[in-house]
Amino acid sequence: MSSGRTMTNLVTVIGRGVPSNYEISVDGDIEPVAADSLEETTVVSEHAVEGTIETGVHRFQFSGELANVHVLDWNGTPASESPSTPEVHIDYGVPGRKNNS
């Protein structure tokens, strides 16, 4: 799936107990860290993912810079206006993260 670029950046989506949707896009490549993330996540392209989360954590490794994050709760209310939307954490330069494909 990836172009072989080193993916040292990490984005983590943490559910808050309410079904929510998220979309994440980057200017490089992005892919799930664990295969179980694929069960609830749709990889739209090499540069974007979208999915749903209620509880738990979804992690994605990516190269380049984060371009956009959009999260909505089950009513379609955006993150800034709803305490139920997932938390999103971005970490750049995570040591030891390399693409194995």
d(CA 23, CA 84): 16
Segment 22-36 shows an average pLDDT of 88
pTM, to two decimals? 0.82
What local confidence, expressed as pLDDT, does residue 4 receive? 57
d(CA 71, CA 20): 7
Segment 60-85 shows an average pLDDT of 89
**pLDDT band at 49; cut points 50, 70, 90:** very high
pLDDT at 99 over 70: no
